[in-house]
Structure 1
Amino acid sequence: MKPYGFVRAVIIILIFGSVSCTATLEMQKKQAKTSRNLGEAYYCQGNYPSALGEFLKSETLYPGDPFLQNDLGLTYMAMGKMDLAVKSFKKALEIKPDYAPAINNLGTAYLNKKEWDTAIRYFEAVSENLLYATPHFAFSNLGWAYYNKKEYSLAEKFYLKALDINPNFINALVGLGKTYTVMGRSPEAVATLEKAVKDYPRLGQLYLELARAYTLSGQYKKALNTYEKAVEFAPDSAIAREAETEALKIREFR
């Protein structure tokens, strides 16, 4: 074979090899996306083991998908596997450093690990991202982190920021009501939690927090009625047991 013929043959092999590899990668990405979509459907149904199975299958096909890594983190978090959740969210951010939902989710995982200062660092970062479509999530999460650090003025500040953006955001309403209660500001606690109950009338946790605010303000009859509502809307739960215990204390000591 003449030299130019050999070179030509090598070039042809390289071209077809490259095309073949590209086609294979595109096929793997398509299959990975199909598994990811199925996993997301399972996740939305609360079927976390099946979701995890699909996400792991997707990861073997194409691990460089930041949205998949975020999905994995959310699933691990829902299953109580916080260390694995942190690892997956960090993988998502290695692939796409400006992926704001993954930054917020990583902060949430650290909240669940009760690593408040680390969580605050991530929430502050995402709250400054002008492209983040739901900054009230980050502000509310900052409120919860500072609440747990017993820095209640800062907790109030960030809950109010969240409510400036979305006045009906339930996490911020509950957090702000709890903050006012622990600060002894019962009129504000009652007003905040009454609004929350009006917006979300079937959540037992809201009635429990509102009953505590009524108790703080000395409105014992309202408190007892509201504890009963907590039990009604969250039967056979920790919320119901807390409501029954606290209602009994009012009856015993009044």
Structure 2
Amino acid sequence: MRPRLQTLAAAWAALALLASCAADLETRRIRADAIRKVGEAHMASRDYTSALGEFLKAKDLFPEDPALLNNLGLAYMAKNRLEAAEASFKNALALKPDYAEAWNNLGSAYLAMKKWDAAIAAIGRVTDNLLYATPHYSLANLGWAHYNKKNYAQAVMHYQKALKLAPGFEMALRDLGRTYMAMGKIPQAAAALSKGVRAAPRNAEMAFYLAKALAASGDDEGAARQFDRALRLWPGCPCAPEAQREISRIGKKIR
């Protein structure tokens, strides 16, 4: 009987240990979840350094949370640590292979790294997912990748799909206009960018690219107005020197 009692005692001890470990794991998960939410609040207020610190603390407690790893990747991206972001998104996907948001974010990291083919492959995992809440973003991201590969027809197709889902989506309108400009389709570019200015009247880049389209179409006065608008909306924008040069050129031309 004694060996049998010893076996039973060992089994009960093992069960108690497993129960204790499970309780500890759940406690760590709950604590990590609370810390993650603090990090998300910092992300919402654009305090990316504090967000990163909270996400790393949460990861130390419970590294098996795909949502946490996705958020950690976003914080790394905001800090321009793209390789770390890529690794974090991949870790999230290793835990949850159908995680559409992480696939799109991985694709966004590849866009920032100018790895166009990798971006297309990653984002392509999202576009057919009927449960993904914001497919117009992934479609616009695909458009941008194809634009940079000079696959302009593919870029136009993806921007148009994005706009079918979200007609006033300013990023897609702006970059559709830029794509038409690259194709030499100036009237279509001006039409897309005019719609973009109506949808986003305080977007300086939209006004700037519309000005370029109008200048290319020969509408110098309209172009000058939009260049001036871009400068008033964002005096320190990267496009400011070109806008100022164009205003000066047009002014001399129409005197």
Q: CA deviation at 1:160?
A: 0.5
Q: Which deviates more from structure 2 when the two are superposed, residues 24-33 or residues 2-11?
A: 2-11
| 1:200-215 paired onto structure 2 within 5 Å | 200-215=200-215
Q: CA separation in 2, counterparts of 1:52 and 1:142?
A: 28
1:223 is matched with 223
Distance of 1:245 and 1:154 partners within structure 2: 33
Structure 2: where are the runs of 5+ without partners? none
The equivalent of 1:9 in structure 2 is 9
- Displacement of 1:44 in angstroms is 1.2
Give the Cα–Cα distance (whole angstroms) in 2 for the partners of residues 76 and 245 of structure 1. Answer: 37
1:46 maps to what in 2?
A: 46
Displacement of 1:142 in angstroms is: 1.2
Whole-Å Cα distance in 1 between the matches of residues 249 and 100 of structure 2? 45
State the partner residue of 1:148: 148
Residue 194, structure 1, aligned to residue 194, structure 2: yes
Per the normalisation by structure 2, the TM-score is 0.94
What letter corresponds to residue 79 of structure 2 in structure 1?
Answer: M
**CA shift at 1:130, angstroms?**
2.8
Q: Distance in 2 between matches of 1:119 and 1:94?
A: 18
Match for residue 111 of structure 2? 111
* Aligned-partner Cα distance in 2 for 1:241–1:84: 35
Q: Which amino acid aligns with 1:52?
A: L
| CA shift in 2, pair 1:157/1:104, >3 Å | same
Residues 116, 249 of structure 1: alpha-carbon distance in 2 compared, 3 angstrom cutoff:
farther
2-structure distance, mates of 1:241, 1:54: 40
Residue 253 of structure 1, CA deviation: 5.0
Which residue pairs with 2:20 in the alignment? 20
The aligned runs of 1:90-169 (5 Å cut-off) are 90-169=90-169
Q: Which amino acid aligns with 1:86?
A: E
Moved more, 56-65 or 175-184: 175-184
The runs of at least 4 aligned residues of structure 1 exceeding 6 Å deviation read none
Equivalent residue, structure 1, for 2:247: 247
Does structure 2 conserve the Cα–Cα contact (< 8 Å) formed by 1:193 and 1:206? yes
**Bigger shift: 138-147 or 180-189?**
180-189
Are the equivalent residues in 2 in contact too, given 1:204–1:239 (CA < 8 A)?
no
Count of aligned residue pairs for this structure pair = 254
Q: Following the alignment from structure 2 to structure 1, what is the Cα–Cα distance between the partners of residues 216 and 143? A: 22
Please provide the CA RMSD for this pair.
Answer: 1.6
Structure 1 residues 131, 146: CA separation in 2 closer, same or farther (over 3 Å shift)? Answer: same
Q: Equivalents in 2 of 1:51, 1:61: separation in Å?
A: 16
The answer for unaligned runs of 5 or more in structure 1 is: none
| C-alpha deviation, 1:149, in angstroms | 1.1
Are 1:184 and 1:216, in contact at CA under 8 Å, matched by a contact in 2? no
